[in-house]
Amino acid sequence: MLNFYLFEAGATKTTFIKVHENGTEELILPAFNANRDYSDFKSALNNSVELDANSKVYFYGSGCASESNKDKVKDLFEGFSLAHLEIHDDIIAAARSVYGDDSGIIGILGTGGLAAYYNGQTIESRRGGYGYLLGDLGGGFELGKRFLELWLNGDLSQRANAIIADKLEIDRETFVSNFYSRLDLDFVSKMTTYALQFEDEGAVNEMLTRYFDDYLKSNILPLCTQRRLDSFCTIGSVGYLFKRYLDKAAASSNVSLKSAIQYPSTALVEYHRKHA
């Protein structure tokens, strides 16, 4: 017996889960963001996904807070005979996966970054997460930019410079002109892997410490003050992989990081099973 389908769509991939009484089946689809080109996702949905008639679909995606963007999602599923289609943005996905029906402050640190207060049902207030041009502090894109700046300024060791140049197949002298000619935003976010690889270098460690301290002071602490709370949770790979820097920043500000979860999908499945 089928229970429901769940789509958890982010900036790098979409996790599609078929949920039934005997377990789950998972498929990875292209990324989806309602504010960008999502033709690859649309093609995969039409060609690789089968949805039973009269079934329930829960869709969580980047940029899905506005009614106009929810209409875009509805159009994607127009060819399917669904009994129920529920659409939410990725902030609700993060909040539900961590807090369920309880309230609290949630930090999202994935490709982008933000923080929000969740009252157990809806998002009451948020800080950040306005896209890579306006403000995504805490996310992988902004972190990748800061690491690239270290590399381009020659602040890394000769060993790190050599490894990065070899992996990228380009040197620092020609990187900038090459980058602006193709403007690959995903590439910038992926630079976080090098930040993690070389975190023991003084310049990188100092940058990481400052980065997560800036995130806390800009996004988390104002919400803690506003809501009179002293703890928060995070969702996303950046928060998960760099948790120790968040812990350090939190401790210095007398707040605590209760949990740092990498992916919300499993917890979202349990949330909807509970509310079925």
234 inside domain: no
- Over the range 99-128, which residues count as b (16 or more CB within 10 Å of their CB) and which as e? beeeebbbbbbbbbbbbbbbeeeebeebbb
Report the pLDDT value the prediction gives residue 11, as an integer from 0 to 100. Answer: 80
Sheet strands side by side (includes 113-118): 123-128, 113-118, 104-109, 231-235, 256-261
Q: Is the pLDDT of residue 183 over 80?
A: no
Among the ranges given (34-48, 79-93, 165-179, 261-275), the one the predictor scored with the smallest mean pLDDT: 165-179
- pLDDT tens by residue, 20-33: 888 899 999 999 98
The parent domain of residue 72 ranges over 2-95+265-274
Report the pLDDT value the prediction gives residue 22, as an integer from 0 to 100. Answer: 84
**Mean pLDDT for all residues in the chain:** 93
pTM of the model: 0.91
Report the pLDDT value the prediction gives residue 12, as an integer from 0 to 100. Answer: 83
223 inside domain: no
Number of domains in the chain: 1
51 inside domain: yes
Report the pLDDT value the prediction gives residue 1, as an integer from 0 to 100. Answer: 54
Report the pLDDT value the prediction gives residue 130, as an integer from 0 to 100. Answer: 85
Q: Is the pLDDT of residue 76 over 70?
A: yes
Q: Is the pLDDT of residue 115 over 90?
A: yes
Return the axis-axis angle of helices 39-48 and 67-76, rounded to nearest 10°.
40
164 inside domain: no
247 inside domain: no
184 inside domain: no
Contacts of 136 (CB under 8 A, 6+ apart): 111, 112, 113, 114, 128, 129, 130, 142
Q: Is the pLDDT of residue 153 over 80?
A: yes
Report the pLDDT value the prediction gives residue 46, as an integer from 0 to 100. Answer: 94
Report the pLDDT value the prediction gives residue 2, as an integer from 0 to 100. Answer: 66
Q: Is the pLDDT of residue 19 over 90?
A: yes
260 inside domain: no
Pairing of strands 113-118, 104-109: antiparallel
Strand ranges, E, within 129-253: 231-235
- Tell me which range, 11-15, 30-34, 107-111, 115-119, is most confidently predicted by mean pLDDT: 115-119
Among the ranges given (7-11, 67-71, 183-187), the one the predictor scored with the smallest mean pLDDT: 183-187
Higher pLDDT, 216 or 37: 216
Among the ranges given (120-124, 179-183, 202-206), the one the predictor scored with the smallest mean pLDDT: 179-183
Q: Is the pLDDT of residue 114 over 60?
A: yes
Q: Is the pLDDT of residue 65 over 70?
A: yes
138 inside domain: no
Report the pLDDT value the prediction gives residue 56, as an integer from 0 to 100. Answer: 95
What the block records as the tokens of 43 is 């093609």
Residue 83: CATH number of its domain: 3.30.420.40
Q: How confident is the model at residue 181 (pLDDT cuts 50, 70, 90)?
A: confident
Q: Is the pLDDT of residue 168 over 90?
A: no
